[in-house]
Amino acid sequence: MSHVLAEALKFSAEDVQANRQGKLSAAQRKRLNKQQRRAVQWGAAAFVVFVVLATFFLYVGQTQASGIATLTGMLITTLNALSLGLIGRHVMRLRADQQAGVLTLRGTLERVLKPDRRIGNYVLRLQNQEWIVTKEQFKLFAHEAAYALYVTQHTRQILSAERLEDA
* End-of-domain residue from the set 99, 116, 131: 99
Claim to verify: residue 93 and residue 106 sit in the same structural domain: no
Same domain? For 10 and 55 the reply is: no
**CB within 8 Å of 92: residues ≥ 6 apart:** none
Q: How far is CA 87 from CA 76, 101, 163, in A?
A: 16, 23, 34
Q: Among 66, 84, 99, which residue terminates a domain?
A: 99
Tell which residue, 110, 111, 108, has the closest CA to residue 147.
108
Q: Nearest-CA neighbor of 77 among 102, 56, 106?
A: 56
CATH number of the domain to which 112 belongs: 2.40.50
pLDDT at 167: 52
Cβ-contact 146, 159 below 8 angstroms: no
Regarding whether 152 and 105 lie in a shared domain, the answer is yes
- Which of 149, 167, 147, 24 shows the shortest CA–CA distance to 94? 24
- Among residues 99, 117, 145, which one ends one of the domains? 99
pLDDT tens for the chain, 167 residues: list them: 578 899 999 999 999 999 999 999 999 999 999 999 999 999 999 999 999 999 999 999 999 999 999 999 999 999 999 999 999 999 999 999 999 989 999 999 999 998 887 777 999 999 999 999 999 999 999 999 999 999 999 999 999 999 998 65
Q: Cα dihedral sign for 160, 165, 166, 167?
A: negative
User: Contact at 8 Å (CB) between 138 and 124?
Assistant: yes
> Could you give the number of structural domains in the chain?
2
Do 154 and 143 reside in the same domain of the chain? yes
Tell me which residue range forms the domain holding 113: 3-24+101-163
What's the pLDDT at 1? Answer: 56
Whole-angstrom Cα distance, residue 94 to residue 34? 10
- Tell me, yes or no, whether 46 and 7 share the same domain: no
Quote the DSSP letter at residue 155: S
Which residue spans within 2-157 are E strands per DSSP?
A: 102-115, 120-126, 129-133, 145-152
- Domain co-membership, 94 together with 108: no
